[in-house]
């Protein structure tokens, strides 16, 4: 009996040895940030954290989310009633998104409604209005592309190629006009240093401190970027340099070749495409919902994959970009057993396999019809997944080309209404 008890104790210690432990003082000393919120969540989940400590530390969150509320209730038996401290850089980003959504977004949605009613003239009027009201370059490109779709006038595409950024719409314009992609706007830096002796952006708190400087108008962004110019921190370098260029340049790095080159080119391109959209390759990234690392993997999915692989890891292990690639590759094996098209794989990576299955088996989406598949691309009901999918698909095509496989975006768009080429769900149900 004693032997069995001793064995159980040793096993329990070994089972929990992978977990980091945080003190109140460690968490308290962290700068207010989403990254600190993640560590507050972890602190609340520790067995030895007292309710009194929980009540004190919850006052330091920048933004309450469902995970924090649940962990706090379990620890204290009550719901947190605190006024979060919104981060100034998120307020700035959210304000820009709000302007586009309320002003240009309303006009664009009205245009699509009129197109469904076959009222082309009114749709054009609203598309011109959307173009004028949109703030973000990509949204302006969207309005121009749709003006081409409803008018068939190539000058809209030509304007797109002159003025547009590197996005879904400019690549489609280049394909329709049979012109090259805007290579002058695509930057793939190749740093000489492997490791960064100055800055470790695999540390979420170090990255939080960088973000404070990044969104400070007094910061010399190019000088800040130089602190991150190594292979291990190339994502942070590119993130900062894009902002320094006022987003006139689009950075597409090719980091971590030591592990990536072992994968097929298509999988390399897919992982790069997702990583660029999820985190801009910043290893220490933490989202508002606590998706973690370069590949933004949710804690529940880390737990699931670790169990499937027979591993026990601390969540912070996913801030190692190579571990993030390993786990993302494992998850993509599952997604690609049902989905064959990078757009739909992206929807599933972002919104879940259940969401993607429900979307594809509805009669409204990605079926032959007027303005398809573009109408479906613009009306997918999950707004985050909708924009995410277009961006990942664009990234995927660019990365295939960078990796030496000449590819055009139009070849992927043309098959979106053909279940034989895209997914298993519609083939099974007969759609």
Q: In this model, does residue 280 exceed pLDDT 80? A: yes
- For residue range 115-138, list pLDDT tens digits in order: 999 999 999 999 999 999 998 899
pLDDT band with cut points at 50, 70 and 90 for residue 430: low
Closest by Cα among 92, 357, 80 to 216: 92
Provide the mean pLDDT of the chain: 91
pLDDT value at residue 91: 59
Q: Hey, what are 251's tokens?
A: 């950075």
Residue with tokens 């432990």: 21
Whole-angstrom distance, CA of residue 117 vs CA of residue 27: 56
Whole-angstrom distance, CA of residue 213 vs CA of residue 31: 13
pLDDT value at residue 3: 41
- For residue range 293-349, list pLDDT tens digits in order: 999 999 999 999 999 999 999 999 999 999 999 999 999 999 999 999 999 999 999
What backbone torsions phi and psi does residue 88 show, to the nearest 5 degrees?
-60, -35
pLDDT band with cut points at 50, 70 and 90 for residue 11: very low
pLDDT value at residue 6: 38
Contact status, residue 69 vs residue 82, Cβ threshold 8 Å? no
Whole-angstrom distance, CA of residue 363 vs CA of residue 378: 16
- For residue range 195-250, list pLDDT tens digits in order: 766 778 789 999 999 998 988 889 999 999 988 888 889 999 999 999 999 889 99
Whole-angstrom distance, CA of residue 141 vs CA of residue 84: 36
Nearby residues of 229 by Cβ (< 8 Å), 6 or more positions away: 189, 191, 193, 196, 237
Residue with tokens 């204290």: 76
User: Which CATH number applies to 251-429?
Assistant: 1.10.530.10
pLDDT value at residue 261: 97
Q: What is the mean pLDDT of residues 101-108?
A: 87
Per-residue DSSP letter, 104: I
H or E segment and range at residue 368: none
pLDDT value at residue 199: 78
pLDDT value at residue 8: 32
What backbone torsions phi and psi does residue 82 show, to the nearest 5 degrees?
-135, 150
Whole-angstrom distance, CA of residue 301 vs CA of residue 291: 10
- CA-CA distances (angstroms) from residue 241 to 25, 93, 186? 35, 17, 12
Q: In this model, does residue 96 exceed pLDDT 70? A: no
The string of DSSP letters for 62-82 reads: SS--HHHHHHHHHHHSS----
Contact status, residue 327 vs residue 395, Cβ threshold 8 Å? no
Whole-angstrom distance, CA of residue 95 vs CA of residue 134: 13
pLDDT value at residue 215: 85
Q: Where are the domains of the chain?
A: 2-76, 90-177, 251-429
Whole-angstrom distance, CA of residue 405 vs CA of residue 322: 24
Three-state secondary structure call for residue 431: coil
pLDDT value at residue 156: 97
Q: In this model, does residue 30 exceed pLDDT 50? A: yes
Q: In this model, does residue 84 exceed pLDDT 60? A: yes
């Amino acid at each position: 009996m004693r032997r069995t008890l001793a064995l159980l104790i040793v096993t329990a210690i070994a089972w929990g040895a992978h977990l980091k432990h945080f003190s109140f003082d460690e968490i308290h000393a962290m700068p207010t940030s989403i990254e600190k919120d993640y560590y507050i969540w972890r602190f609340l989940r520790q067995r030895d954290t007292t309710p009194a400590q929980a009540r004190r530390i919850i006052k330091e969150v920048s933004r309450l989310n469902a995970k924090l509320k649940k962990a706090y209730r379990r620890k204290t038996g009550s719901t947190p009633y605190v006024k979060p401290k919104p981060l100034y850089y998120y307020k700035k980003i959210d304000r820009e998104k709000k302007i586009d959504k309320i002003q240009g977004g309303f006009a664009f949605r009205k245009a699509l409604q009129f197109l469904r009613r076959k009222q082309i003239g009114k749709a054009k009027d609203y598309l011109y209005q959307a173009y004028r009201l949109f703030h973000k370059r990509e949204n302006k490109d969207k309005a121009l592309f749709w003006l081409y779709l409803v008018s068939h006038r190539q000058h809209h595409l030509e304007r797109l190629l002159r003025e547009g950024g590197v996005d879904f719409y400019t690549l489609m314009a280049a394909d329709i006009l049979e012109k090259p992609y805007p290579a002058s706007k695509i930057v793939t830096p190749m740093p000489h240093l492997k490791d960064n002796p100055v800055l470790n952006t695999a540390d979420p708190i170090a990255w939080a401190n960088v973000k404070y400087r990044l969104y400070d108008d007094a910061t010399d962004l190019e000088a800040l970027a130089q602190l991150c110019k190594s292979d291990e921190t190339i994502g942070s370098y590119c993130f900062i340099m894009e902002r320094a260029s006022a987003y006139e340049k689009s950075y597409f790095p090719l980091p971590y070749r030591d592990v990536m080159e072992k994968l097929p080119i298509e999988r390399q391109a897919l992982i790069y495409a997702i990583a660029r959209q999820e985190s801009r390759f910043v290893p220490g990234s933490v989202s508002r919902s606590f998706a973690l690392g370069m590949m933004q993997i949710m804690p529940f999915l880390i737990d699931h994959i670790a169990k499937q692989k027979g591993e026990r890891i601390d969540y912070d292990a996913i801030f190692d970009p190579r571990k993030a690639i390993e786990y993302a590759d494992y998850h993509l094996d599952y997604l690609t057993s049902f989905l064959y098209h990078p757009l739909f794989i992206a929807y599933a990576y972002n919104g879940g396999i259940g969401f993607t299955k429900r979307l594809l088996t509805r009669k409204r989406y990605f079926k032959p019809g007027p303005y398809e598949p573009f109408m479906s691309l613009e009306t997918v009901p999950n707004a985050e997944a909708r924009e995410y999918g277009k961006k990942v698909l664009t990234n995927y095509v660019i990365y295939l080309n960078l990796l030496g496989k000449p590819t055009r975006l139009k070849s992927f768009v043309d098959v979106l209404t053909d279940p034989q080429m895209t997914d298993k769900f519609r083939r099974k149900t007969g759609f």
